[in-house]
Amino acid sequence: MARRKKKDTLRRKLLKALVKDRRLDPVERLANRLGYMGSAFIMLSPYLLPYDNIGAYTYIVGAILSIPQVWVSKHWNIVIINFNLLIGYGIYIYKSLI
């Protein structure tokens, strides 16, 4: 099967002009991997809350692992949400230990 050539239409040229093609540096790559792992912990946590509050600990681990990704990408609103998550579940664990 012959490969079709893509026409460089005006729309395609405009879209190419809007996208910056670059490689991630090592810090960004590490932050992205930590962010994915943190997101997985946060997604898993609600299902683990009934089991001796393990979900609260995984929420905290997930928030800690997610912070580098959003810090490097400068999404400050998500950084604040993660700190809020850390504080809230920190208080939750503290009250459950007393």
Read off the pLDDT of residues 52-92 as tens digits, 9 standing for 90 and up: 889 999 999 999 999 999 999 898 998 999 999 999 999 99
* 6-10, 20-24, 73-77: segment of lowest average pLDDT: 6-10
Residue 98's pLDDT band, with cuts at 50, 70 and 90, is confident
pLDDT at residue number 9:
82
Domain locations in the chain?
A: 24-97
Confidence tier at 47 by pLDDT (50, 70, 90): very high
State the Cα angle at 91 between 88 and 97, rounded to 5°.
Answer: 145
What is each CA distance from 15 to 5, 10, 24, in whole angstroms? 18, 9, 21
The pLDDT of residue 20 is: 79
- The CA distances from residue 83 to 15, 17, 54, 60, in Å, are 36, 36, 19, 10
Three-class SS state of 50: coil
Cα gap 49→58, rounded to integer Å? 9
**Token reading at 69:** 């990704």
| Residue with the larger pLDDT of the pair 46 and 24 | 46
